[in-house]
Amino acid sequence: MKSFFLTLSLVLISFSGLQAQSRHNAETAKQLDIFNCLYRELDLYYVDTLNATKNISNAILYMLDQVDPYTEYYSESHTDDLKQMTTGKYAGIGAVITARKDIGRCVISHPYEGMPAAVAGLRAGDVILSINGVDTGEIGQRELSEYSSAVSAALRGDAGTICDLRVRRPGVSKELKFRLTRRTITLPSVTCATMLADSVGYVMLSSYIEQTGREVRLAVADLKRKGATKLILDLRDNPGGVMGAAVDVVNLFLPKGKEVLDMRSKSRENSATFKTRNTPLDLDMPIVVLTSFETASAAEITAGALQDYDRAVILGQNTYGKGLVQETRELPYGGYLKLTTSKYYIPSGRCVQAYKYENGRPVSLPDSLARTFHTAAGRPVKDGGGITPDVVTKADTMPDLLIQLALSDQLFDYAVDYCHNHPQIAEPEAFRLTDAEYEAFRQYIQAHGFTYETRTKAGLDRLRLLAAYEGYDEMAKAELDALEKKIVSNQDYDFTHWQPQIRAYVEETIVQQRYYDSGVARYRLREDKEVNEALKILLDTGCYNRLLAPPSQSDR
């Protein structure tokens, strides 16, 4: 009898589930039919001719934006971007371009080291005039993104094909011509691997692509040959990427057969458990992993798994909180949908996913509401969003002036001009602007129209609007005018007050144009507070061991 009722219950539950699914399918079909009919009527009778590609794309983007920030649609013209993101490869000349409204064309903003553009001699600041004899034309009334996409598409092509470029170089009177052979562009995920003091190796990992595990293995093995007995693995600002690459990196420092992550989905096909499957490179080398708020996805798997097995000390800021897994689905007409299919859980059982998003940014649970898990040694760790480091450091604050300066065309143009006038500069570790050069930089950007607005000034503008709305504008005008005179942006004061930060960023921009991304990494190492803190921990064996030690019985 019990067996009969159990069977009946299972049948009823199954039937209820089928009914719910049927209602869901019917509602989905209904809403799709409404949308289809609505757009057909709009297209037939609206007073102006509609752009179907733009309107439908906007509708798709809005719909996906309501789901999560990682579910994205790639039209046929943008599938190369998806392939590059997942594989780190594409065929072309190996340079980032930027459309400039003030110039009216695209400029080379970032040639990749060792790739055809850099090898041929193209530089940051070169203005693209024609590709394979076809004038790229001026931007005119086109949107910047539309124009740059067209130029980028013309630069890409099958590996082995020829690309003839005609460019205008700032400071050079004659137009320059370059002949490049396109190739498969592979962007390395290891940006910098070098030895620091006292037998400490340093590896900066900037992304996770198919070959990341192999790259890190080769980099660490080379450092060990050079005498490294300790390691700093820098995952700061690493946005992640291919999940399997994170398993490969963790496998370098953990024995075969250890669980790295558990992927859970509502469908069985998207659920799986991933374990280390290869012989490790080193099981004993002390490791400090550096993280920041922008450390995300696969980088969080690496940091979290090493923390859960007490294999490394994590130092820095709480990570981003992306515990979601995406896969791609092919769509009609050559498009792709990258959609979230699963959540991942690291060895302690915690999910690092933030519990909600506000304005596209993750929000973590308050510590008091987060659940407690434990590492292999019994150390308590929390869920609710991201990986909390074992040693938390405070992120440097950046003034609005520096943010706006970093995004300005004037800074980029100054660096182009500086490199043109200085064919040789010191190595990244030693490069410095003189006081005279810093003053020349100030005069350059002022002469070229750099302006900025502080948040204090923006707040005052909002206060004026509120005062006018509530009828206090005339009464408070004198006081508000006096306050504005005190807080209006003062370049002489700001460029003196923030000189160390501004000077460092200008130097970094110049180094990037001369020595590429690897040079920037080397430049930053000379005054990196978190690297120095990691060095202290690694060189103090007692401190390192205490940070990874299980809590005493009295602490539990």
> Are 238 and 208 a contacting pair, CB within 8 Å?
yes
What are φ and ψ of residue 302, in 5° steps? -60, -55
In the DSSP assignment, the letter for residue 468 is H
Distance CA 502, CA 497 (A): 10
Three-class SS state of 391: strand
Instruction: Single out the residue of 149, 102, 95 nearest to residue 122, CA to CA.
Output: 95
Residue 234 to residue 257: CA distance in whole angstroms: 25
> What SS3 state is found at 340?
strand
State the amino acid at position 103 in one-letter form: I
What are 80's two structure tokens? 């190369």
Q: Can you name the residues that pair with 100 across neighbouring β-strands?
A: 105
Does the annotation count 130 as an active-site position? no
CB 541 within 8 A of CB 200: no
Helix (H, G, I), strand (E, B) or coil at 92: strand
245 backbone dihedrals φ, ψ, rounded to 5°: -65, -35
Amino acid at 345: Y
Q: Which is nearest to 163 in space by CA: 148, 152, 175?
A: 152
What residues are paired with 190 via a beta bridge?
205
**Sequence-distant (≥ 6) Cβ neighbours of residue 281 within 8 angstroms:** 217, 220, 221, 252, 253
* Catalytic entry in 126, 262, 308, 383: 308
Structure tokens belonging to residue 335: 């498009």
Active site residue 54: no
In this structure, are strands 287-291 and 162-168 parallel, antiparallel, or unpaired? unpaired
Instruction: With H, G, I as helix, E, B as strand and everything else as coil, classify residue 293.
Output: coil
Name the 3-class secondary structure at 87: helix
The residue from 189, 206, 207, 297 that is catalytic is 297
Displacement of CA 387 from its chain's centroid (Å): 17
Distances (CA, A) of 86 to 33, 58, 102, 261: 34, 24, 34, 19
Task: Respond yes or no: is residue 297 known to be catalytic.
Answer: yes
Q: Are 97 and 156 in contact (CB under 8 A)?
A: no
Q: Which of 230, 258, 322, 338 is catalytic?
A: 322
Rounded distance between C-alpha atoms, residue 179 and residue 187, angstroms: 22
Q: Which residues are catalytic?
A: 297, 308, 322
